[in-house]
Structure 1
Amino acid sequence: MLLNLLFPLPALVVGILIMRAAGVPTTAWGQNLAACVIGILLYFVLARPRVSRQGETGLLIAGVLALGVLAATWLDPGLQGVHRWLMLGPVRVHAGALVLPLVLAALAGLERAGRRGASTLLAIATALVLALQPDAAQATAFVAGAVVLLLPRSPAEGRGWIRLLPLVVLAGLSWLRKDPLAPVPHVEGIVGLAAEQGHVWGIAAVASLLLLPVPFFVARGRGDGRVGLALGAYIIVTILATAVAHFPVPVLGQGASPILGYFVAIGLLKRFQGSVPRGGTESPAT
């Protein structure tokens, strides 16, 4: 649904206007504009509905590759012992913000196919890498989404909730190491920067952030309902983490990776909404 493309626009516009008013260089907020254009293209690539479970093979491969991207952050020298980024030319990519929606979609595909062991291993491996980076915001947000997907769906699954324990433990451990990096005003401190411009800008900044999770919960009842809830939980926790500690504010703050990751998430949401089983009818929500 093209309406979903409108939800990130207020945060993008408000963030850019705040950065311009604060004298942030054009090269910084210009990355947000470029990421928006690329993100829209990604949305249309990913939003194509799958026609069968066999059609999820590419998505599952993408999930494993996404885990590889997270692990590749150790190929970068890092910043003060923190390994969250990859250098692609002049651009520093925040790996977790970019690829975690893909991992959550891969978990959803594995769960639908009944491959619970594979989905559990992928979830734990991803949470472990995030905890080691360390990236407490992304680790906690990912685990929140993964728990939604991996929760037992019926009493027949017995003690299926036990596989959630390692995820919760790893999310908790990710907070034990103090983040040594100083916050950047137009990245982690963009809401405070907005408030400095006046109450109206502060309210606009917060309101635009509140819009970001909306499409994932409006989508309930169409396609695979748990995917929307999982991605929505991921987005909400990512936003809430910025109020607890110094983490990049998604979409509103400067940074291409969270913007691209958000468009990937709404593209995957559309993909699962339009999922059609081999019989040709829409699959029921789960």
Structure 2
Amino acid sequence: MKALWIAIITTIVIAILLAIQPDASQLTGFAIPMMIMLYSKINKKILRSLMFGILSLLIILSWVHLDSLPPVAYVERIVSLLANMGLMWLILGVISLIILPVPFILFPPKNFKIPSICVGLYFIIILISTLFGNFPVPLMGYGISPIIGYFIPITWYAKSKANS
């Protein structure tokens, strides 16, 4: 039970930090999968409702108060830059983005189905949210952090598949 409380408190603290940093896509991508994972572990209905309510409120507030900075072409508009390079680059770019969540969603490890599906859901939310605002496109935008952020779960996934 102590580990569950630590997970709940850590999730809410991280969600608050993401809400302060006006990136609704990251908060939404983090909070929704965490709600699913925690919901499956919490037995008390009141605690489930409280956790769900807090995270939902933070998501709503983050979408109401979006970042007002203009987009950076090599971060938030990278798909548009691909389109400007030609149809073939755009098609390859979109295919590469679609492939990101596939292993996590379609082929989850036996012992880690919910965490695997939630990682895939995170990537789906992040990708879809780029259609609704100026949010970084994972693995295609400028910088190494999204690549490292993908290598961590894909390494976990590969090790989980090897051990199952």
Using structure 2 for the length normalisation, give the TM-score: 0.88
- Equivalent position amino acid for 1:235 in 2: F
State the structure with bigger RCO (CA 8 A, min sep 6), 1 or 2.
1
Q: CA RMSD in A?
A: 2.1
The CA distance in 2 between the partners of 1:219 and 1:242, in whole Å, is 25
- Equivalent residue, structure 2, for 1:151: 39
The CA distance in 2 between the partners of 1:168 and 1:273, in whole Å, is 32
User: Once the 2 structures are TM-superposed, how far is the Cα of residue 251 of structure 1 from its aligned partner?
Assistant: 0.7
The CA distance in 1 between the partners of 2:158 and 2:129, in whole Å, is 26
Distance 1:220 1:175, change over 3 A: same
- Equivalent residue, structure 2, for 1:173: 61
- Equivalent residue, structure 2, for 1:257: 145
Using structure 1 for the length normalisation, give the TM-score: 0.52
Moved more, 158-167 or 136-145: 158-167
Correspondence 1:58-77 to 2 at 5 A: none
The CA distance in 1 between the partners of 2:16 and 2:162, in whole Å, is 32
- Equivalent position amino acid for 2:86 in 1: G
The CA distance in 2 between the partners of 1:266 and 1:254, in whole Å, is 20
Q: Is the CA contact 1:224–1:273 (under 8 Å) kept in the aligned structure 2?
A: no
The CA distance in 2 between the partners of 1:121 and 1:273, in whole Å, is 29
**Which of the numbers 48, 56, 74 marks the counterpart of 1:161?**
48
Determine helix, strand or coil for the equivalent of 1:217.
helix
Correspondence 1:96-245 to 2 at 5 A: 115-152=3-40, 157-159=43-45, 160-162=47-49, 163-245=51-133
The CA distance in 2 between the partners of 1:238 and 1:125, in whole Å, is 20
Identity %: 34
Higher radius of gyration, 1 or 2: 1
Q: Is the CA contact 1:183–1:189 (under 8 Å) kept in the aligned structure 2?
A: yes
Q: Is the CA contact 2:28–2:125 (under 8 Å) kept in the aligned structure 1?
A: yes
Q: Which stretches in structure 2 are left out of the alignment for 5+ residues?
A: none
User: Once the 2 structures are TM-superposed, how far is the Cα of residue 181 of structure 1 from its aligned partner?
Assistant: 1.8
Between the two proteins, the alignment pairs up a number of residues equal to: 162
User: Once the 2 structures are TM-superposed, how far is the Cα of residue 232 of structure 1 from its aligned partner?
Assistant: 0.8
What's the CA shift string for 1:93-122, capped at 9, x where partnerless?
xxxxxxxxxxxxxxxxxxxx7722111101
Q: Is the CA contact 2:82–2:93 (under 8 Å) kept in the aligned structure 1?
A: yes
User: Once the 2 structures are TM-superposed, how far is the Cα of residue 221 of structure 1 from its aligned partner?
Assistant: 4.7
Q: Is the CA contact 1:223–1:274 (under 8 Å) kept in the aligned structure 2?
A: no
User: Once the 2 structures are TM-superposed, how far is the Cα of residue 216 of structure 1 from its aligned partner?
Assistant: 0.7
Q: Which stretches in structure 1 are left out of the alignment for 5+ residues?
A: 1-112, 276-281
Distance 1:146 1:274, change over 3 A: farther
Moved over 3 A (4+): 270-275
The CA distance in 2 between the partners of 1:115 and 1:271, in whole Å, is 23
User: Once the 2 structures are TM-superposed, how far is the Cα of residue 158 of structure 1 from its aligned partner?
Assistant: 4.1
The CA distance in 2 between the partners of 1:177 and 1:185, in whole Å, is 22
The CA distance in 2 between the partners of 1:242 and 1:183, in whole Å, is 11
The CA distance in 2 between the partners of 1:242 and 1:196, in whole Å, is 18
- Equivalent position amino acid for 1:161 in 2: R
User: Once the 2 structures are TM-superposed, how far is the Cα of residue 153 of structure 1 from its aligned partner?
Assistant: 5.2
